[in-house]
Amino acid sequence: MAHKTYQYCVAENWGKGFIEHGESSKLTFSSYPGNVWQVPAHNKHGNLWIAKVAGSVKTLAEAQTIVDAEVQAAQAVWDSLPDANKAPAVESNKRPTDITLEE
């Protein structure tokens, strides 16, 4: 069985105090569409943070499903835009890309 590097939860970022400096010093946080947060697995500080933010723990597959749904919704919005709005007025004006979460 593959060893998990990350664990996932869904939690709404309430702003100030959601991630504190001391927590960020001890953990690497990554957020994804759909309020999905990735923190290291098997980690006391990660577990404490998920508890603090009342995060709803998700498996990798569950988290991926949430992210996929959010990205596909953003892609649908992009696809429905008039072509004039998709023109690359600047280099970064582009369709949202798929995201694959790591185990």
Partner 1 sequence: MSEYKSIHGAKVQTYSSNPANPILGQVWFNATSDTLRVQSQTTAGAWSTGGDLNTARSYLGGAGATKNAALAFGGGPPPAPSAKTITESYNGTAWTEVNDMNSKKAFVAGAGTYTSAIASGGDQYSGVSESWNGTNWTSIANEPSGKNAYGAAGADNTNALFFGGSPPSSETRYWNGSSWTALNNINTARAGIGGAGKTYTQALAAGGQSGSTRVAIVESFNGTNWTEVNDLNTARSYMGSTGTQTSALVYAGTIPGVTAVTEEWNGSNWTETTNVSTAREGGASAGANNTDALLSGGSPDTAATEEWTGAGASVTRTIDTD
Which stretches of the chain bind partner 1, using CB under 8 A? 13, 15-25, 28-31, 33, 74, 84-85, 87, 89-93, 96-97
**Three-state helix/strand/coil letters over 33-99:** CCCEEEEECCCHHHHHHHHHCCCEEECHHHHHHHHHHHHHHHHHHHHCCCHHHHCCCCCCCCCCCCC
Between residues 60 and 96, which has the closer beta carbon with respect to partner 1? 96
Which DSSP symbol is given to 30? E
- Which residue lies nearer to partner 1 by CB, 1 or 22? 22
To partner 1, the closest distance from the beta carbon of 1 in angstroms equals: 28
What's the closest the beta carbon of residue 47 comes to partner 1, in angstroms? 14
Phi and psi torsions of 76, nearest 5°: -65, -40
Among residues 42 and 81, whose Cβ is nearest to partner 1?
81
Give min distance, CB of 25 to partner 1, in A. Answer: 4
